[in-house]
Structure 1
């Protein structure tokens, strides 16, 4: 297997680098999204705010280092304008959730192109052999074509393996963004209710 891949030529080196970067980002993002998928901390925090237990709500924030909790924390810190504070914090958190996805997108596009480049270089080599020796050595020509196609196969494989997690992570970012917006709106309403109750 290693010998087969090595026969794809020097273009296999950037493809191998792309695959290493892709796997690293995929594992890191999977662990990240697995960790932040818990929203029960946000439910508990909202319940405390509705009951007027602001100090306990602040303690709850310290117990959970999650994007949604950090956004709600901004809302509690700026009770006179919680919406804008949480919107600003939400933008930063969404940017953090999208970290590494641009690199995956680039690898999805770049890998097949690198594979195609390797195939073209291999085909050029095969035609040079044909030009030098004529068609008297068909095995040399077909062998060169076979080696050239390895690069294309490797490039498409890297792109396919990267594409599925990339789409999953994009879906997770959208889902987490919607969740943050939902809980931010609920906290803003809870703070308004508390302010109205205090005023009356």
Structure 2
């Protein structure tokens, strides 16, 4: 069996996470001050002291820096998913893989500012939906590989869609005061609701 917890991240990985966090902090701060349309990638990079090339190592576009879940976190989640035992139920594997990555999302302190941005600038919601759909497609591909079926077939797509819905709902309804442990617990509750067939409010 593969252990539930992953080893401590390397120094290189910690530096990457720190840079990613600094870029995200700067993006949200500038967007809160000037509006998303009043901020450029160059502005964000100038605040952090890195090049645009470095920015695009972490984010596909400026808007992606406003969201807590991005493609780097998706890659981390997929790496965790690939490590799960093949005989484990797919939903259990998905929950465990996402739960491992949540600390990197839950440590972000910009939740109030991010929620204000999404509420005040609804044009960002479309980009968020696109980002999550990309994550969903990549997850379905990994599930298809594990299950030995085409990624575009019904089962892996339903599993990926359910997992991304659980993740999105968890992030939206989580109370940041409960910390990362609370976030992980909230995710487990969301998956439990889905696996039970959504019987009713808990």
Provide TM-score, normalisation by structure 2.
Answer: 0.31
Higher-helix-fraction structure: 1
Structure label with greater radius of gyration:
1
